Chains A and B, each alone.
Chain A
Amino acid sequence: MAERRPVRWHIGVFLAPAVAVYTAVMIFPLFATLDLSLYRVVDKATHFVGLGNFATLFGDPHWSEHFWNALKNNTWFFLINMAVQNPIGIGLAALLSSPRLRFAAAYRTAIFVPTILSFVIVGFVWKLILSPLWGIAPDLLKAVGLRHFFAPWLGDPHYALTTIALISVWQFIGIPMMLIYAALLSIPDEVIEAAEMDGITGISQFWKIKLPLILPSIGIVSILTFVGNFNAFDLIYVAQGALAGPDYSTDILGTFLYRTFFGFQLQLGDPNMGATIATVMFAIILAGVCLYLFGIQRRLRRYQF
């Protein structure tokens, strides 16, 4: 170690392209956006307003009403996703990983199909199926004797958000299923055999042995869902439009950001307020990720096999 090594230029050459593109197109704009949220344009002159835009966003009735509505909707959207998608995903993964199950690969492939479809397809397909005009949903419900249960769910402010969230669950169920499935497969046979020796089989084996072992994967799935949901936009834009109707009942932070930043119909776009909303989203996502990294992931016991 006494000798100084020559400068290893190749390390720089290997790193440069990735770091350059990543910094210029991702990190720099992220921070520039945070910075933009501190300014306001009045009469074509840019003024520094400190946290003034945030005060406007949280307090000015003209903005805050939409903001809190979007935040509330986004939270509900996330809760539905967590509460429905993850248990079903875990259940499917548990079934798929049962030993000697035939056609497991075919099921896995089929259940993952919605995840690869674009939001445009997903949004429109469900709009058509749930449309009272076409009648697929009413007819299907009739077939099982639940016709009276049908309502134009996407058009009703009470149900629209939950319906959209369930469509999102349908679309992304493949991700928890796959990740949990992979985790279940990596549990070594010895552990399972030891459990069987002790007479723990079937459902109780799942609860007592497997579930604790896959908790880290459930944590990853949860944080992925959190980040994805608080950053969502496409599905609602496609199914309900940029106004996130009916009556803003499906408006979430992503659609609110889009309308604010880009303008819609008579409302002019406002980059600074857009940046302010993006900054709030950034803070929410960062808080979630930190909570996961420092609060949850650290406490999860990891088992080394």
Chain B
Amino acid sequence: MANRARTSLPRTLAAHAILLAYTAIALFPVFVIVINAMKSRRAIFAHPLQLPGPKSFDLIGFQTVLSQGNFPLYFWNSLIVTVVSLAFILLFGAMAAFALSEYRFKGNLLMGLYLALGIMIPIRLGTVAILQLMVATGLVNTLFALILVYTAQGIPLAVFILSEFMKTVSADLKNAGRIDGLSEYRIFFRLVVPLVRPAMATVAVFSMIPIWNDLWFPLILAPAERVKTVTLGAQVFLGQFVTDWNAVLASLSLAIVPVLVLYLVFSRQLIRGITSGAVK
């Protein structure tokens, strides 16, 4: 009833038309790449916008990619870097967030501001010294160098979001735990962490995308073949196979699909995270 004034048929249709048009713009490039990756070279050039049919269907591109590139290794490297960084970000971030939101102590506010600084100042600006640090510690061309950088990069936002959520955990519950003789560590791991799990999932999704997609740090800190991440690997592969369109399109598809699947799995979490005010 109350909504009648807000909706009218022509306006709804117009809204759908605009949104559909923009959806097409957003998805068109992905669509073009994926359909052409499965076509023969001739069909790619002759009819780039046609779906692969029985005549034009060809997986030669994927064969080239799998035989020439080291993609399984790159995927493995990306996976390790992303998962381990995320684990550190969540664990360290949650611990710091708990300290800041639970206890009143001298320097609490200052510490919060110090950790929040990294939300606005990009870590890339310290690259020159980060490389020197990694050279000095012998961590160049190791996955651990990337993990350290991404952990540092992810901590500020994690602390910020998680401490907001931890403030909502009932004090009675924690005090009941204290009366029962639980140590502060147990209260954190047994009571608080399970309760803020949705917020941790949000942080995980937010932190994951830039780590998986980063090109800058793999390029500078870990360019060696055995530690290449998939983003850097795809970049180098594309540079070498620039004229082999089948291979290029196939490798692009291979790079798109895992992220897309992950996104579709986590998109509810991501969108809920944004709309619930986690980043406002």
Residue-wise, chain A 192-218 has the 8 Å CB interface mask toward B (1 for contact) of 110010000110000000000000010
Verify B130–A118 contact, CB threshold 8 A: no
Q: Does B179 contact A (CB under 8 A)?
A: no
Verify A124–B238 contact, CB threshold 8 A: yes
Verify A21–B152 contact, CB threshold 8 A: yes
**B90-104: which have CB < 8 Å to A?**
91-93, 95-96, 98-100, 103
Residue-wise, chain B 104-140 has the 8 Å CB interface mask toward A (1 for contact) of 0100000100110110111111111111110000000
CB distance from A80 to the nearest CB of B (A): 17
- Residues of B contacting A101 with CB < 8 Å? 12, 15-16
Q: Does B171 contact A (CB under 8 A)?
A: no
Residue-wise, chain A 172-192 has the 8 Å CB interface mask toward B (1 for contact) of 010000110111011001001
Q: Return the chain B residue nearest A30 by Cβ.
A: B126
Q: Which of B123, B126, B245 contacts A32 (CB 8 A)?
A: B126
Q: Does A256 contact B (CB under 8 A)?
A: no
The DSSP consensus for interface residues of chain A is: helix
Q: Does B59 contact A (CB under 8 A)?
A: no
Q: Does A159 contact B (CB under 8 A)?
A: no
Q: Does A248 contact B (CB under 8 A)?
A: no
Q: Does B168 contact A (CB under 8 A)?
A: no
- The interface-forming segment of B63-71, B195-203, B210-218 is B210-218
- Residues of A contacting B22 with CB < 8 Å? 88, 92, 107, 111
CB distance from A206 to the nearest CB of B (A): 11
Q: Does A144 contact B (CB under 8 A)?
A: no
Verify A114–B118 contact, CB threshold 8 A: no
Distance in angstroms between the alpha carbons of A25 and B125 in the assembled complex? 12
Q: Size of chain B's interface in residues, with CB distance under 8 A?
A: 97
Q: Does A170 contact B (CB under 8 A)?
A: yes
Distance in angstroms between the alpha carbons of A220 and B280 in the assembled complex? 8
CB distance from A162 to the nearest CB of B (A): 17
Q: Does B88 contact A (CB under 8 A)?
A: yes
Verify B184–A10 contact, CB threshold 8 A: yes
CB distance from B197 to the nearest CB of A (A): 18
Q: Does B256 contact A (CB under 8 A)?
A: yes
B interface residues with partner A (beta carbon < 8 Å): 2-3, 5-7, 11-12, 15-16, 18-20, 22-23, 25-27, 29-30, 32-33, 44-45, 48-49, 88, 91-93, 95-96, 98-100, 103, 105, 111, 114-115, 117-118, 120-133, 148-149, 151-153, 155-156, 159, 183-185, 188, 209, 212-216, 220, 231, 234-235, 238, 245, 248-249, 252, 255-256, 259-260, 263-264, 267, 270-271, 274-277, 279-280
User: Top 9 nearest A-B pairs by Cβ distance?
Assistant: A29-B126, A32-B129, A118-B213, A29-B129, A14-B99, A18-B96, A25-B152, A18-B92, A30-B126
Q: What are 10 A-B pairs at a CB distance below 8 A?
A: A13-B95, A17-B92, A27-B118, A107-B22, A113-B260, A114-B30, A119-B213, A128-B249, A134-B44, A282-B121
A interface residues with partner B (beta carbon < 8 Å): 8, 10-11, 13-15, 17-19, 21-22, 24-30, 32-33, 36, 88, 91-92, 95-96, 98-103, 105, 107-122, 124-126, 128-129, 134-136, 139, 170, 173, 178-179, 181-183, 185-186, 189, 192-193, 196, 201-202, 217, 220, 223, 227, 231, 233-234, 237-238, 254, 257-258, 261-262, 271, 274-275, 278-279, 281-282, 285-286, 289
